[in-house]
């Protein structure tokens, strides 16, 4: 490798995603010239923590496109980077000019963020909340390498009118994971993210989205590869759309590929069509959603001539996040949407623990994890004669 040109070595190193692999390469080769080219030029420019609270980082990245181009993921400045022991802020090559940017105005930070994003030709993960700015949105919309995006647009205290009518041509063919939130303290859906779902949702597999934002796209967006859906509650809504729950139900009915659903809807009438979500394996929901889903799969509601066999869901994980009414073990046993042989995990959020805990092992022989919240004064004694599946 000593005979290769510096430019060629730089290109080779830029194709390596893992900081750990880069570090191992530098150690294994042992030549100071090669080591100095890898550390810190590449090892510190793969997984970064940066957001609007770190203007000095964006000033540095905007000034050094030769380093910025190698970044693979950006996370919030104070959030952990899961799955890696690396990641942080690139302090080694930052100079006094960059550090002085800590005192700069918000507009200058936005400008630097825009310039830095323009240089990130290998970026795969962007989980950093960003300000409501058309230039930043345009740069994100052109990132063909992006696989995971947090569409949380900062708009403190006012509707983001400067971006709501911006027409964007989203081109994210590799996007697999998207998180969408509505704007804080407003009843306005996140229209830029709605555009994204309409234009670049073909490859999307995981979607975390607020009820208001999902309502905006529920009737005209189809995501053929969607397997994970988490619907969050907009607690700040003053005047929720009249058909919000109905539109979300329609969206769920059109996406039979979903196998993991989280929806903690506590209020309103929920009615699913017959045999909705036939591939569902994991459910984290309120008892209202659970009971509505059970009614959808109740074979007694089918006409005898059209009663297809085998509609029981094969749920392997059931988390009840909110109990609007107590649910007994007898009711669990009667649920049509549960397959006794397949349920492996059951979690319930309630201060009224089950009186007959051991019966869970008898009713669901494959169960491996049983969890529920208890009052501080409650002491749970696990009897020794529980079903073998608990041991």
pLDDT at 387: 43
**CA distance readout (Å), 274 to 52, 158, 263, 271, 335:** 47, 42, 19, 9, 15
pLDDT at 78: 67
Find out whether 166 and 139 touch, Cβ atoms under 8 Å.
Answer: no
Q: Which regions in the chain score pLDDT beneath 70?
A: 1-2, 78-87, 154-160, 184-186, 236-237, 301-312, 322-326, 349-358, 372-391
Find out whether 9 and 59 touch, Cβ atoms under 8 Å.
Answer: no
pLDDT at 236: 65
Residue 157, helix vs strand vs coil: coil
pLDDT at 361: 75
pLDDT at 133: 86
How many residues belong to the chain?
A: 391
The residue written with tokens 């073998």 in the block is 388
In the sheet that holds 125-127, the strands lie side by side as 47-49, 73-75, 125-127, 148-151, 177-180, 206-210, 228-232, 260-263, 282-286, 317-322, 345-348, 369-372
Task: Please give the structure tokens belonging to residue 339.
Answer: 């397959």
Q: Report which of 119, 124, 136, 122 is spatially closest to residue 51, judged by C-alpha positions.
A: 136
What is the CB neighbour count within 10 angstroms for residue 135? 17
Find out whether 373 and 351 touch, Cβ atoms under 8 Å.
Answer: yes
């Amino acid at each position: 490798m000593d005979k290769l040109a510096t430019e060629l070595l730089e290109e080779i190193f830029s194709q390596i995603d893992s900081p750990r692999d880069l570090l191992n390469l530098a150690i294994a080769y042992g030549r100071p010239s090669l080591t100095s080219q890898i550390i810190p030029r590449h090892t510190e420019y793969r997984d970064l923590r940066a957001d609007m609270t770190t203007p000095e980082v964006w000033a540095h990245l905007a000034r050094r496109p030769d380093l910025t181009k190698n970044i693979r993921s950006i996370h919030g400045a104070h959030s952990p980077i899961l799955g890696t022991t690396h990641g942080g802020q690139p302090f080694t090559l930052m100079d006094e000019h960059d550090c002085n940017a800590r005192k700069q105005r918000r507009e200058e930070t936005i400008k630097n963020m825009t310039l830095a994003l323009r240089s990130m030709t290998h970026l795969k993960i962007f989980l950093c909340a960003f300000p409501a700015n058309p230039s930043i949105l345009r740069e994100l919309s052109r990132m063909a390498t992006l696989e995971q995006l947090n569409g949380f647009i900062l708009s403190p205290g006012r509707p983001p009118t400067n971006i709501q009518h911006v027409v964007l041509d989203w081109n994210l063919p590799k996007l697999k994971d998207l998180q969408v939130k509505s704007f804080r303290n407003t009843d306005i859906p996140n229209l830029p993210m709605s555009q994204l779902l309409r234009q670049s949702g073909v490859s999307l597999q995981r979607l975390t989205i607020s009820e208001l934002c999902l309502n905006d796209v529920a009737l005209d967006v189809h995501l053929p590869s969607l397997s994970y859906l988490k619907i969050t509650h907009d607690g700040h809504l003053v005047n929720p759309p009249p058909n919000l729950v109905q539109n979300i139900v329609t969206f769920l009915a059109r996406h039979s590929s979903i196998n993991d659903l989280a929806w903690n809807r506590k209020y309103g009438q929920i009615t699913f069509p017959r045999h909705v979500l036939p591939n569902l394996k994991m459910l984290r929901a309120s008892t209202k959603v659970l009971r509505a889903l059970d009614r959808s799969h109740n074979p007694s509601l089918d006409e005898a001539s059209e009663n297809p066999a085998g509609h029981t869901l094969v749920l392997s994980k059931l988390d009840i996040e909110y109990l609007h009414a107590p649910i007994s073990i007898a009711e669990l046993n009667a649920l049509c949407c549960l397959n006794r042989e397949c349920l492996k995990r059951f979690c319930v959020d309630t201060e009224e623990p089950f009186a007959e805990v051991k019966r869970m092992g008898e009713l669901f022989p494959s169960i491996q994890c049983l969890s529920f919240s208890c009052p501080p004064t409650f002491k749970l004694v696990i009897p020794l004669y529980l079903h073998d599946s608990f041991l």
